[in-house]
Each structure stands twice: as structure tokens, then as C-alpha cells.
Structure 1
Amino acid sequence: MAAARKGYRSLDVWQRAMELVEAVYKVTQLLPDSERFGLISQMQRAAVSAPSNIAEGYGRGGRDYRRFVVMARGSVMELETQFEITVRLKLLSREEIREAWDLSQGTAKMLSRLADSLKGR
């Protein structure tokens, strides 16, 4: 990545969140078309929200940064709940969501660490 493109794009947590978005879009392609305006839409919005909030918070800086990181973590928790719903409703198997689930778990941990490191700043 060119030096001029540093900033939030160089953050490991933002890059991981972007990988999560890609994985969620792959997973939602497996869902029935009847879920287009339900789970598919909700899952995609939650996934996109995570890196978007990281970027927006980074751009605002200060205390806003931590607040947006916490919101990004909330979006990942929302997404994990939606994964669980797809499994409980037997729309997808645990194996079908495994990659996205693992990415969500890793992203959530990274966001928690980042939020903790920004506490009190």
C-alpha cells in the first residue's frame, strides 16, 4: 500500500473487518432468496457497518474514535447473532458459516483490544 494511503486502511482491525465483509457476502449468497429483505440485508448491513465505523471514528479522532470502535464491535456482535439465527433456523450449517464466524470472532477480539487501548484518551 502506498505511503499516501496510510491511515485507517493500514489498521489490521480494519483489514480484518473488510475480510469479514467479503465472507458475509459469500455466506449470504447461500441463503434463500426469500431472506433478501430479512437476514441477508441485516447481515450485510451489520458487516459493512464494522469497517465503516472504524474508518469514521479514525477520521474523527479523539473520544469519537473509541465510541465508533465500540459501535463497530456492536455490529460484529449483531452479526454473530444473525449467524446463530441462520443455523437455528436451519438455513445454513455451522460449517457453511465457519469462515465468517471465525473472522467475526477475531475481529471482535481486535476491536475489544483497540477500545480498551483507547480508554481514557
Structure 2
Amino acid sequence: MNHKDLEAWKASMELVDCAYQLSKKMPKSEDFILKQQFLRSAISVPSNISEGCGRSSDKELIRFLDISLGSLAELDTQFDIAFRQDYFDDNETFKELLIKTRKLIIGLKNYLKKKTIE
């Protein structure tokens, strides 16, 4: 399975782009604190999808999809922290991409689980 063909990977790459744009609005004082963690979490999502696709079984891919979902949860919280600090406005595009990515990863995970049962 090529990760670049997966809608979940494509959506997560859009989310990374959006995270980079938002991170530019964070103050310099956050460069090595929240900003770095925010970007690491964003980058982790498509990276783990890719790594899972490079593994030898659907079971391993599912494990990496779980890690991607964990990174998405971190990213969601980091967005909330930055918003609460008034680093940027409540960004609907980011939130929509986050929800879309989560749904696509969960959908892929459920498909793979069903496929391994059959």
C-alpha cells in the first residue's frame, strides 16, 4: 500500500501545512516550547501513516495509525493552548482539517480491522 495514495495521508499533509502557517503567528518565546511541540505533533501524523504503510502487515499499520491518532490528539490540545494564549484566532480551517484527518484515519483503521477478520 502506497501511503501517498491514502486520503488520510493527504489530509494529514494539508494539516501539516496549516500547522506551519499557524506556528508563524506564535511569539519567538515559544520557538523551543509550544511551537516546536506543535509542529512535531503535526509532522508525526503523516510520518506514522507512512511508516505503517512501509511495514509488512495490516496489524502493524493499524498500530501506526493508532500512534497517528495520538499525535492528532496532542496537536488538538496544543492548538487549544495556543488559542488560549491569544497566539491566533479560533481557526476553522485547522479544526476542520483535524476532524477530517481523524475521521479518515479511523475509517482506514476500521477497514483494515474488518479486512483482517474476514
What TM-score does the superposition give when structure 1 sets the normalisation length?
0.88
Deviations 1:62-119 (A, max 9, x none): 111000011111111110111111112222221xx32222111110111111111222
Contact 1:77–1:108 under 8 Å retained in 2: no
Describe how 1:2-81 pairs up with structure 2 within 5 A: 7-62=2-57, 63-81=59-77
Q: Which runs of 5+ in 2 are unaligned?
A: none
2:15 and 2:39 mapped to 1: Cα distance? 10
Letter of the 1:64 partner, please give it: E
Which has the higher mean CA deviation after the structures are superposed, 20-29 or 80-89? 80-89
The secondary structure found in structure 2 opposite 1:119 is: helix
In the alignment, does 2:108 pair up with 1:111? no
Distance 1:98 1:61 in 2: 37
The CA distance in 2 between the partners of 1:100 and 1:65, in whole Å, is 25
Q: 1:84 and 1:15 mapped to 2: Cα distance? A: 23
Identity %: 36
Aligned CA RMSD, in angstroms, stands at 1.3
Q: Which residue of 2 aligns with 1:3?
A: none
How many positions carry a matched residue from both structures? 114
Moved over 6 A (4+): none
Give the Cα–Cα distance (whole angstroms) in 2 for the partners of residues 14 and 34 of structure 1: 31
- In structure 1, runs of 5+ residues without a counterpart are 1-5
